[in-house]
Amino acid sequence: MQYRGITSENFYLTEIRNTCRFILENGIQENLKELLKKNNILETFSESNFSKKYNTINKRLKSLTDNLKKQIVDTDLASAKFINLYSILCNERFILEFLEEVVKEKYDNYDYNIKESDFLIYLATKSEQSEIINNWTEAGKRKMLVKIKNFLTEGGFLEKNKDAYNIIKPVVESAVIDEIKENGNRKILKIMFY
């Protein structure tokens, strides 16, 4: 998995749930893009907005088994957020490594706060380790830190307080965990359950 700048992507929980619901209700196998556009499942307002959302959702769908697609629709909100974050982590190395190298490490050391300096140190370290990240613009690097904060907050792993982020552990339905264990990416699941 390569590092990628995803500054224009969002968490898109509603969109991925709506897409999975549409696929399940209609038994879609082909022409998904055209059908999503025709039925405005992604709730877009322009061609470029549709393309951006579709490309992101389609990439994430490839990480989900049929059971996870069903579960993201039928499960509780916390478990749906967990599944969506799992699909993001399957595709986004920069965010996955932050969860492993910063969140997990702090949690293991009984430090449940992430300060702004932790984000900046992570970015500096990654810039030294990767030419790809080093070549991102300064604005792009700042936006990627915002994406880490947003995705991990919306995914149920961080909670913003006045001057830092608290590390929290989401409560997830066991059927979701079992499905990923049996048919998904166990390495990513292990990182998510630090």
Model confidence pLDDT, tens digit, residues 40-51: 999 999 999 999
C-alpha separations of 30 from 8, 26, 33, 180 in Å = 27, 11, 8, 25
Q: Where are the domains of the chain?
A: 13-88, 93-192
Q: Give the pLDDT band of residue 61 (cuts 50, 70, 90).
A: very high
Predicted confidence (pLDDT) at residue 194 exceeds the cutoff of 90? no
Give the span between the Cα atoms of 122 and 111, in whole angstroms.
16
* The token pair that represents 96 in the structure block: 């996955």
Q: What is the pLDDT of residue 27?
A: 85
Q: Whole-model pTM?
A: 0.94
For residues 127-137, average pLDDT: 96
Contact (CB, 8 A) for 52 and 8: yes
